[in-house]
Structure 1
Amino acid sequence: MYVLKPGIKRDPVRRWALPDRIFFGHGACHILAGVYLAAPPLARFYAERIIPAEGLPGAHVYVTDGRLAFDYHGYSLRTRLLAHHRRGWAARFEGWEGAVAPVDFPLLDTSVLNARRMRGPDQYLHDPVPRARSFIDRVDHADAAGRALRRGLETVGSDT
């Protein structure tokens, strides 16, 4: 799990300079999810969020069809994404727990996001929406989703 150096998230210039995966994995995941859903490359995806227990860090927003998930890592099985997220935060914060909930609010609306302690698209150094679109457009979604499903089947087959 990548850990940001202190102060980066508060410094708009340093935050914007992060590589895409780190930028979207540390504070702009909801922007990536919102842009994905604005023009979904695969059908039946919706957003979910991980809400950490009170006072703990580790919130995350991703899109899923219930089996696959897409976030700054690309495609993976939803169960793997959730397990990876939990392991990473639990390794840093003993007793870390989080709940998964459907996202029932617009992911690109600043006032709605601010009410949930998230930044709106107009609150970054530059507009993150084109950056997210470019990140999403670099992916061959059908191929990447298929690979994630096959990896999941291989793992299930190796457990028997």
Structure 2
Amino acid sequence: MITLTQKETSLLQDSKKQEEICIEKYERYSSEASDPQLQDLFRQLGSKEREHLNSINQILSGTVPNVNAGGQGNQQQMQQQMQQKMQAMPQLQAQSAVSGNQSKSDAYLCTDALSTEKHVSAVYDTAIFEFKDASIRQVLNHIQKEEQEHGEKIYNYMAQHGMYN
């Protein structure tokens, strides 16, 4: 059982709120996006954010989650699935003509999601330096790394679809 300082608890509460916002956004954005590939990306990212929220809740309840068990394989599988979908993209684009408004809407969703990921990563950056327990810092560092990977996936999608200038 771990004991948290008031400051550590406050930082975790902030992180918890950010994860809840991410989950809400990705659930909403997956239904609002017009591109099925983007819908799937948002669903996958939302699922990872839910894992982050669970980790934060475990720490708040006094236990340190094991972030290394099984996560690497799932991450590699998720990356492989996204690469396959990106490779299939030319066929998908040829099959469906997306209107300019839908494309602008998807670009807005991506821009907002990328901005959110940048912010959340910064929240974790601050928190990492404030925890005395090395195992908690490791969990927070793991989450921050995944947040950065989320940003990279969104950026890659945007770059492939001409949304990032």
Q: Shared fold (TM-score greater than 0.5)?
A: no
Higher strand proportion: 1
Higher Rg of the two aligned structures: 2
Higher helix proportion: 2
What is the TM-score normalised by the length of structure 1?
Answer: 0.29
